[in-house]
Structure 1
Amino acid sequence: MTELGVKWACEYCTYENWPSAIKCTMCRAPRPSGTIITEEPFKSGPGLDGGREWDAPGTEGGGGALLICPDSSARPRVKVASVAETSSKWSCQMCTYLNWPRAIRCTQCLCQRQRTRSPTDSPHTSGSGSRPGPPPQDPCEEYNDRNRLNTRAQHWTCSACTYENWPKTRKCVVCDHPRPNGQEAIELAEPEDPSSIINEQDRARWRSGCSGGQRRSPPTSKREQELKMDFQRIELAAGAVGSKEELEVDFKKLKQIKNRMRKTDWLFLNACAGVVEGDLAAVEAYKSSGGDIARQLTADEVRLLNRPSAFDDGFTLVHLAIRFQRQDMLAVLLTEVSQQASKCIPAMVCPELTEQIRREIAASLHQRKGDFACYFLTDLVTFTLPADIEDLPPSVQEKLFDEVLDRDVQKELEEESPIINWSLELGTRLDSRLYALWNRTAGDCLLDSVLQATWGIYDKDSVLRKTLHDSLHDCSHWFYTRWKEWESWYSQSFGLHFSLREEQWQEDWAFILSLASQPGASLEQTHIFVLAHILRRPIIVYGVKYYKSFRGETLGYTRFQGVYLPLLWEQSFCWKSPIALGYTRGHFSALVAMENDGYDNRGAGANLNTDDDVTVTFLPLVDSERKLLHIHFLSAQEMGNEEQQEKLLREWLDCCVTDGGMLVALQKSSRRRNHPLVTQMVEKWLDGYRQIRPCASLSDGEEDEDEDDE
């Protein structure tokens, strides 16, 4: 707010003071009797609106103590600070800034106010004991700007770390860099008398005039320009509580830590914050830059991140992903992409047929009427690898398997821990070997693997995810009861002994519902249970039991392996032929078998009905230690010993016991009953490998002729 009237110039420092000031604002010199007029008062004349006149203060109609500026359309009316209010300000002993009486710290340098009474103190501030009233708003912010300029002008900027040091320091307090000699001549010394204050103000005014009145910020470092990342989420909170000395020490320490940081360090901290906040791009950026996934957070990095509840010393990105249940990020972090071959799956080769299959899936989804209004599929489709693959040359077969299978998942499930194909009886004599299809490493891997195991395509349009969310929402009470009862039993059986309030159960359930509606969000066991109802068939998950790091350390229990039955449907409404999924390190893959012509009546090639060409795959219901797989989400009445659970499995699946005494489930598939679009897609995909066969056969024939000539 601009004060109207005649300014008077101080005879010592030539500072232009407002007419109400009885002392110079800068040097505190008394106002001389004869003042120099440096600004003409407003005279009566036409107003901004063309007809209204502005009156000078004190004239008739001038409004008394309320002054109106010519640009009052943008500024409110305020009272001019009286002489008593202006003189009641206290001067800071460090920076000489004039503060309002209510301030207990200096507005500029945060120095504590000295409570010693001075001649400039008003009776309200000392002696009377009464609390002063609220001070009026400063009518002119020029005081603040000038004092701030004078205070900052006393600092010198370090050329190495850009830290602003006090004028008496000879070395930078952050990086110990020596003070440049050239700055000593231009930096301002600490004033000791009023004359030096005058010189300080003149020099500061000259500097501000040369630079256009704006103080330039130190140049941004090249490291920060290259990264262009959000440093605000890894900065120390500005509102920390503590003494000035403690804050200054913390600030210096953080400055030293930042100056030692390299580009890889910033990417790592950004990835750690990305795991907590769910930013997958930050994690992928760190991994693609060649960052070490097993890198651990140091104490300095934890201090810089400034979130003790989220980050701990020694934690890796995997630890953080497990703590915050980021299944999609675990897939990116723990799944090494060592396959150099480009992927070529049936859904990629035939985009037209794939779109038709997606439309067929959407058309076959219906909602059941009644209390349990869950969605379900009307078609029973099971994807299997064609038996014609065995007719291809070995080199072509190897190429095909490299492009359609996930070799890393296959190796982990077979070799690192015996989870699939561990039984020679099933894999060799009964031809029930399972193959892990390659799948996208995204948050939709569960939905993709379910559609791959049935229709051979991905959930690209999120049709299955939307159906999952709608089923959970419309049948929330049914699924919530099962989920709550199962989680309570699980916590008690594993000795956790915790109990939640109903509000906490509701919050956890709301989180599960929200995951189903977010494309790319990782899913949990409850979602597999709902998918079993949508498919109207059991889902068997063969997965690793523990999260492990690259060094083989056990990080946590996965809880995914087991059998998921559509227990909320009637048994007569469901199919007994299950599908199989594989789970490895936060990633789901479809496990499928290979067709067989059925000429020798063995295992998967057992031709149970020659007219229908049915292929049967035997899926084990026990693990490698011959322990029965867990059945998820059982009620209190359904829970029991192993015999009762085995009886329940026989009711919901076609089960039999092999010659070796192993309980298995029968997965049946048929070429004739399979959807024609799926069969057509597989045949078109296989034709691409059949075209490679003549070249391979020709090279083999040429080698045979060369041997005959010799």
Structure 2
Amino acid sequence: MTELGMKWACEYCTYENWPSAVKCTMCRAQRPSGTIITEEPFKSGSMLDSPHGDSGGSSLLICPDSSARPRVRQAQTTESSAKWSCHMCTYLNWPRAVRCTQCLCQRQRSCSPTETPQTSGSGLRFRSGSAPPVDPCEEYNDRNRLNTRAQRWICAACTYENWPKTPRCVVCDHPRPNDAIQLTEPDEPSPVINEQDRVRMQRAGGVCGPVGQRRSPPASKRDSEVQIQDIQCIELAAGAHGSKEELEMDFKKLKQIKNRMRKSDWLFLNACAGVVEGDLAAVEAYKSSGGDIARQLTADEVRLLNRPSAFDEGFTLVHLAIRFQRQDMLAILLTEVSQQAVKCIPAMVCPELTEQIRREIASSLHQRKGDFACYFLTDLVTFTLPADIEDLPPAVQEKLFDEVLDRDVQKELEEESAVINWSLELGTRLDSRLYALWNRTAGDCLLDSVLQATWGIYDKDSVLRKTLHDSLHDCSHWFYTRWKEWESWYSQSFGLHFSLREEQWQEDWAFILSLASQPGASLEQTHIFVLAHILRRPIIVYGVKYYKSFRGETLGYTRFQGVYLPLLWEQSFCWKSPIALGYTRGHFSALVAMETDGYDNRGAGANLNTDDDVTVTFLPLVDSERKLLHIHFLSAQEMGNEEQQEKLLREWLDCCVTDGGMLAAMQKSCRRRNHPLVTQMVEKWLDGYRQIRPCPTLSDGEEEEDEEDE
């Protein structure tokens, strides 16, 4: 008798082990003394098919597709013929077993439709007329014959044939050998699903992972990478600092955490990873799905992300954006866009006119010859809301303002911070109320707001950004000198007594230049100063002084509020009519006024001889505390006390003092001198609201008369 015929059967799981095995390879039970099976397990098929094959005690039913499965005798004993097949792993268990010996799955009491077993005193029998029982081992073979398209690897410990993508044996958890070759593509799903994995998927209702574990469906590719990464990191940590039992406990805990997670949880983790990696799409996907910006990372989620240097318990997306200095993401997170109404600005109504305006802007850009070769616009255009809005019904006016204005920005600048419209004299008696137009939350919000305040459109084609980049590079020496001198004075004024080497100044300046060339990158005060030179007119920024979180916590100083003058141009080359921008929590918005019927000398200190078709908007040059607004990027000769700065403002802007003693700049816009394409775009946008007529409410008597007429 050869060694193949001297296998001994385990008394617990009936697995036939090699004679040299001391313990059962399957269940690790101790080998009983003197228990040896002398049957030859590899008999030919002719012997099994012979008429004497079922009478001898040596005939065996062999499972050719899995040599790890136990060889079950076709004996006529009642106990062996009554074995039940596990619905999870198809292992044949003894009738006394309540759970599967292989996978510990609970035994199902229901019988298959083809058999109805009845117990008797002599064992298990079948009703007359019923179909003969189907051997579960043959069912297992038939299923595996369908799965021959993908080559499997054989476990070296238990000889079970596993699917190519399984890193460990699903039977004994033995690691896959390195020489096991995957014939299928690594990124291509297998065309045939393992029967065990399919059953687990049906029970769990989820997605089957590499070894068939149950988990929630990931929201994107990064979710799968996070799940695989945290498993690998836990394994490495356990291998270095813990035992195998601790590794198994950590792995089970990790699976429990992932099983409890929903799609919104994966979106939140995806957004957290996106903030760290600079993926703006992940943050926008979480916010657009209605995710809570104030949501905090829990201990389980931090453990799942497995990156202690980046994620801490209690952190929100805002905290992560501040830690990693993601200003563009901070603007998106801290700017709540009103979802009550669909936004509809004039640029969205007529795309043909919008494209013509963009071409007109591109053609009006020229570069100045000489040492200061900066680009500039040849046309003076100021966007204002038409006065015909007041002729619309109140309900239609409310709808129009909901669709064209940013209510959240308007509320923050007016009520929470008292930055605009805080003066009753300017807002009521002088009709100089400012309206915050709705703007995109992308990183181009500064450029969009500048074009909205002038031409009423977005910088969709990045024409203004390209002009900003070219002007900075062509006039780098001029702007660099102003920027360096201003930053040095600013740091000393706040008591930050430090000096940088020239290499450090050059590095910071190179970063500012790089921001101008990147679409979607957030811009700084220097870029506003350059834009004032491109427009050839002052820019007044009314903004909040501090960054604040959603809880109202102060996060930092903004430094954007103030006046930006085109100081590097000659005064005669520039216009004195400014534009106004609003700044709220990392987001810029265009502040525009509404047309009036004329100036009519509405109480200003200066007597202006203006036409009736000219709209004059008074923009305050002081804040709500009557302090003069800062003038950015002044040189050492231009810096001085408040009187000198006020004198400088009067030189570059049309200033006046109101009856209340307030210094204000006059923004003039003429409907006749405005660009005809902008006027045509606004009229077409307004026609859409003129056609809206609210349904009139009928009285009871009129309703009765209508019913009688019908």
Q: Structure 2 length normalisation: TM-score?
A: 0.66
Per the alignment, residue 452 of structure 1 pairs with 452
Q: Tell me the CA shift for residue 575 of structure 1.
A: 1.0
CA spacing shift, 1:353–1:640, aligned 2, 3 Å: same
Q: Secondary structure at the match of 1:681?
A: helix
> Is 1:347 paired with 2:299?
no
Task: List per-residue Cα deviations over 1:636-682 (Å, max 9, x = no partner).
Answer: 23222222222221221111211111111111111121111111211
C-alpha separation between the residues in 2 aligned to 1:688 and 1:706? 30
Q: Tell me the CA shift for residue 357 of structure 1.
A: 0.8
Q: Secondary structure at the match of 1:685?
A: helix
Task: List per-residue Cα deviations over 1:82-108 (Å, max 9, x = no partner).
Answer: xxxxxxxxxxxxxxxxxxxxxxxxxxx
Q: Tell me the CA shift for residue 310 of structure 1.
A: 4.1
CA spacing shift, 1:346–1:243, aligned 2, 3 Å: closer
Per the alignment, residue 417 of structure 1 pairs with 417
> Is 1:596 paired with 2:596?
yes
Per the alignment, residue 219 of structure 1 pairs with 212
> Is 1:245 paired with 2:241?
yes
Per the alignment, residue 274 of structure 2 pairs with 274
Greater shift after overlay, 450-459 or 651-660? Answer: 651-660
CA spacing shift, 1:253–1:634, aligned 2, 3 Å: farther
> Is 1:521 paired with 2:526?
no
C-alpha separation between the residues in 1 aligned to 2:255 and 2:642? 58
What residue identity is the alignment partner of 1:576? K
Per the alignment, residue 368 of structure 2 pairs with 368
Residues 468, 530 of structure 2: 8 Å contact kept: yes
> Is 1:546 paired with 2:539?
no
> Is 1:182 paired with 2:114?
no
Q: Tell me the CA shift for residue 475 of structure 1.
A: 1.6
What residue identity is the alignment partner of 1:382? T
Q: Tell me the CA shift for residue 615 of structure 1.
A: 1.7
Per the alignment, residue 628 of structure 1 pairs with 628
> Is 1:646 paired with 2:646?
yes
Q: Secondary structure at the match of 2:336?
A: coil
CA spacing shift, 1:388–1:404, aligned 2, 3 Å: same
Aligned residues: 520
Q: Tell me the CA shift for residue 326 of structure 1.
A: 2.9
> Is 1:532 paired with 2:532?
yes
CA spacing shift, 1:391–1:413, aligned 2, 3 Å: same
> Is 1:334 paired with 2:337?
no
Per the alignment, residue 257 of structure 2 pairs with 260
C-alpha separation between the residues in 2 aligned to 1:326 and 1:225? 25
Residues 540, 564 of structure 1: 8 Å contact kept: yes
Q: Tell me the CA shift for residue 633 of structure 1.
A: 1.7
> Is 1:657 paired with 2:657?
yes
Q: Structure 1 length normalisation: TM-score?
A: 0.66
C-alpha separation between the residues in 2 aligned to 1:458 and 1:535? 16
CA spacing shift, 1:206–1:233, aligned 2, 3 Å: closer
1:679-690 map, 5 Å: 679-690=679-690
C-alpha separation between the residues in 2 aligned to 1:599 and 1:570? 29
C-alpha separation between the residues in 2 aligned to 1:519 and 1:706? 60
Residues 218, 224 of structure 2: 8 Å contact kept: no
Residues 431, 603 of structure 1: 8 Å contact kept: no
C-alpha separation between the residues in 2 aligned to 1:274 and 1:567? 41
Q: Tell me the CA shift for residue 529 of structure 1.
A: 1.1
Per the alignment, residue 156 of structure 2 pairs with 204
C-alpha separation between the residues in 2 aligned to 1:317 and 1:227? 18
Residues 582, 589 of structure 1: 8 Å contact kept: yes
CA spacing shift, 1:311–1:480, aligned 2, 3 Å: farther
Q: Secondary structure at the match of 2:102?
A: helix
Greater shift after overlay, 529-538 or 226-235? Answer: 226-235
Per the alignment, residue 286 of structure 1 pairs with 286
Q: Tell me the CA shift for residue 267 of structure 1.
A: 2.4
C-alpha separation between the residues in 2 aligned to 1:442 and 1:560? 18
CA spacing shift, 1:289–1:395, aligned 2, 3 Å: closer
Residues 603, 616 of structure 1: 8 Å contact kept: no
Residues 215, 255 of structure 2: 8 Å contact kept: no
Greater shift after overlay, 278-287 or 620-629? Answer: 278-287
C-alpha separation between the residues in 2 aligned to 1:554 and 1:461? 36
1:64-103 map, 5 Å: none
Per the alignment, residue 392 of structure 1 pairs with 392
Per the alignment, residue 171 of structure 2 pairs with none
C-alpha separation between the residues in 1 aligned to 2:569 and 2:458? 26
CA spacing shift, 1:600–1:609, aligned 2, 3 Å: closer
Task: List per-residue Cα deviations over 1:453-475 (Å, max 9, x = no partner).
Answer: 00111111111111111111222
Per the alignment, residue 139 of structure 1 pairs with none
Q: Which runs of 5+ in 2 are unaligned?
A: 5-19, 21-98, 106-153, 165-179, 183-193, 195-209, 706-710
CA spacing shift, 1:417–1:374, aligned 2, 3 Å: same
What residue identity is the alignment partner of 1:287? K
Per the alignment, residue 699 of structure 1 pairs with 696
Residues 603, 617 of structure 1: 8 Å contact kept: no
C-alpha separation between the residues in 2 aligned to 1:296 and 1:203? 44
Supply the RMSD in Å over aligned alpha carbons.
Answer: 3.8
Q: Tell me the CA shift for residue 493 of structure 1.
A: 2.0
CA spacing shift, 1:574–1:218, aligned 2, 3 Å: same
Residues 422, 624 of structure 1: 8 Å contact kept: yes
Task: List per-residue Cα deviations over 1:97-150 (Å, max 9, x = no partner).
Answer: xxxxxxxxxxxxxxxxxxxxxxxxxxxxxxxxxxxxxxxxxxxxxxxxxxxxxx
Q: Tell me the CA shift for residue 425 of structure 1.
A: 0.7
C-alpha separation between the residues in 1 aligned to 2:251 and 2:547? 34
Q: Tell me the CA shift for residue 285 of structure 1.
A: 2.1
Q: Tell me the CA shift for residue 539 of structure 1.
A: 0.5
1:547-626 map, 5 Å: 547-598=547-598, 600-602=600-602, 608-609=608-609, 611=611, 613-626=613-626
CA spacing shift, 1:646–1:252, aligned 2, 3 Å: farther
C-alpha separation between the residues in 2 aligned to 1:354 and 1:684? 12
What residue identity is the alignment partner of 2:452? Q
Task: List per-residue Cα deviations over 1:345-377 (Å, max 9, x = no partner).
Answer: 211112221111111100000111122211110
Per the alignment, residue 60 of structure 1 pairs with none
C-alpha separation between the residues in 2 aligned to 1:573 and 1:286? 48
Per the alignment, residue 476 of structure 1 pairs with 476
Q: Which runs of 5+ in 1 are unaligned?
A: 1-10, 14-28, 30-178, 186-201
Per the alignment, residue 229 of structure 1 pairs with 222
> Is 1:439 paired with 2:359?
no
CA spacing shift, 1:313–1:535, aligned 2, 3 Å: same
C-alpha separation between the residues in 2 aligned to 1:511 and 1:290? 34
1:483-502 map, 5 Å: 483-502=483-502
CA spacing shift, 1:211–1:595, aligned 2, 3 Å: closer
Task: List per-residue Cα deviations over 1:585-626 (Å, max 9, x = no partner).
Answer: 22111101111112744279x994455732211101111111
C-alpha separation between the residues in 1 aligned to 2:544 and 2:677? 34
Q: Tell me the CA shift for residue 290 of structure 1.
A: 3.3
C-alpha separation between the residues in 2 aligned to 1:242 and 1:372? 64
Task: List per-residue Cα deviations over 1:674-710 (Å, max 9, x = no partner).
Answer: 1111112112222222233xx45x838x769969x9x
C-alpha separation between the residues in 2 aligned to 1:442 and 1:205? 57
Q: Tell me the CA shift for residue 634 of structure 1.
A: 1.9
C-alpha separation between the residues in 2 aligned to 1:404 and 1:690? 15
C-alpha separation between the residues in 1 aligned to 2:613 and 2:272? 53
Q: Secondary structure at the match of 1:628?
A: coil
Task: List per-residue Cα deviations over 1:486-517 (Å, max 9, x = no partner).
Answer: 22322222234444333333332222222221
Greater shift after overlay, 649-658 or 334-343? Answer: 334-343
Q: Tell me the CA shift for residue 339 of structure 1.
A: 3.8
Task: List per-residue Cα deviations over 1:513-556 (Å, max 9, x = no partner).
Answer: 22221222221211111111110111111111122222222222
Residues 542, 582 of structure 1: 8 Å contact kept: yes
Q: Secondary structure at the match of 2:656?
A: strand
Q: Secondary structure at the match of 1:677?
A: helix
1:37-76 map, 5 Å: none
CA spacing shift, 1:339–1:513, aligned 2, 3 Å: same
Residues 599, 612 of structure 2: 8 Å contact kept: no
Greater shift after overlay, 508-517 or 233-242? Answer: 233-242
C-alpha separation between the residues in 1 aligned to 2:633 and 2:644? 15
